[in-house]
Amino acid sequence: MDAIAVDGLRKRYGEVQALDGVSFAVGEGEVFALLGPNGAGKSTTVRVLVTLTHADEGTAAVAGHDVRREQNAVRRAIGYVPQDSGVDQYGTGRENLMLQGRVQGMSGRDLRSRADHLLDLVGISDAADRIVKNYSGGMRRRLDIALGLVHRPRVLFLDEPTTGLDPEARVAMWAEVSRLAVAESLTILLTTHYLEEADQLAGRLAIVSRGKIVVEGTPADLKAGLRGDAVHIELTNGALDEAQRVLVGVGAKPEQVIDGRTIVSRVENGGRALPGIISALDGAGIPVASVSLSRPSLDDVYLHFTGREFSSEDRGE
């Protein structure tokens, strides 16, 4: 049985079609990422799955329970770490954990030892009895994750787990999540707008764009599916059409144009093809500002399937 089964979710907020037929399945023990820009529908999907909101159409089941009809069964089976931390800032880390455990039906020694264990597991034991208001961003995020885990859920939802963390804390968090997935034998669904994050953490991922899943697979398969290397050619002037004709002529058919001046082509063997490409452009009198060659990355996968580059705007920075 799948830990998460989503079928044809649609949801509209006023004029915005937030979800436009989202379907996917996550197997038990998998780490699955929804990757996409802000507003693509990742968080809305998660909010439907954790029973915070309802979809207009479609069905979803988590840990075998329908998210609409068996809400409390779903809530007991899941841990949810929201994008915005929901901790009580005026309580201590331990108090937050104890309350979360109590509303999940835990009590007594079991709860106390579970809280101790988790504080240790996420590395904030030393700060356990300090008021959360004085925690750093990274510590708060660790507490968030501990809160999501207190009742030993089978499925953990991490909505943008590292947004707002500095790069160092982000890398530490990746290691943490990978470790937890094994230590707690969890199914994890995470959303992210960081390509590296999906690449690092997810066994499988889906790219979400405008309320739809555009492609799904393992990071390796998605990259392999592109076949060949990406050649980025940046032109100094706007001779785009001419340059594209030249590129077709040498067997480097342009795939995309970025910002009206950089052409991306895909070729079987970049190293061998590059000299031919440069001399052909040179021969046609087209000035080139820069040329770069790269092995397929998730960036390219994203570009290929959504038709646009993963810009810093998408990252919400």
Partner 1 sequence: MTLLRHTWFMTTRQARNLMREPIWIVLLLVQPMVWLVLYGQLFRNVTRLGGFGTSSYITFLAPAIVVMNAFFGATWSGMSMIADLDHKVIERFLATPASRFAIVLSQIVRSALTAAIQALIILLVSLALGVRVHTGVLGWLVIIIAAILVNSAFAGVSQAIALLTRREATMIAVANFIGLPLLFLSTTMIARSQMPGWMQTAARFNPVDWGVRAAREVVLPGTSWGTVALYLALLLALSAVTAAWATTTFRSYQRSL
The residues of the shown chain that bind partner 1, judged by CB under 8 A, are 47, 50-53, 72, 75-76, 78, 80, 82, 84-91, 95, 99-100, 102-105, 131, 147
DSSP 185-213: T-EEEEEES-HHHHHHH-SEEEEEETTEE
Least distance in angstroms from the C-beta of 76 to partner 1: 6
Which CB sits closer to partner 1, 25 or 99? Answer: 99
Cβ 229 to partner 1, closest distance in Å? 44
Which CB atom, from 74 or from 264, has the smaller least distance to partner 1? 74
Residue 119: both structure tokens together: 């504080």
How near is the Cβ of 78 to partner 1 at its closest, in Å? Answer: 7
Q: Tell me whether residue 157 or residue 302 sits nearer to partner 1 (CB atom).
A: 157
Amino acid symbol at 270: G
Q: Identify which of residues 95 and 216 has a Cβ nearer to partner 1 in the complex.
A: 95
Q: What's the rounded Cα separation, in Å, for the pair 72 and 174?
A: 30
Q: Following CA atoms 292, 297, 300, 302 in sequence, which dihedral angle do they give, to the nearest 10 degrees?
A: -150
Distances (CA, A) of 140 to 8, 73, 135, 189: 35, 27, 6, 20
**Minimal distance in Å, beta carbon 164 to partner 1?**
14
Q: Which is nearer to partner 1, 72 or 269 (CB)?
A: 72
Q: How many helices and strands, by DSSP H and E, does the chain display?
A: 11, 14
CA distance 167 to 250: 41
Nearest-approach distance from CB 247 to partner 1, in angstroms:
50
Measure the CA–CA gap between 50 and 190, rounded to whole angstroms.
13
For partner 1, the closer of residues 143 and 169 by Cβ is 143
Q: How far is the CB of 146 from partner 1 (least distance, A)?
A: 13
Query: Is beta strand 78-81 parallel, antiparallel or unpaired with respect to 155-159?
Result: parallel
Helix (H) / strand (E) element for 39: namely: none
Instruction: Classify strands 204-209 and 31-35 as parallel, antiparallel or unpaired.
Output: parallel
At residue 226, the 3 state secondary structure works out as: coil
CA–CA dist 16, 289 (Å, integer): 40
From the CB of 192, what's the least distance to partner 1, in Å? 19
When the beta carbons of 41 and 82 are compared against partner 1, the nearer one is 82
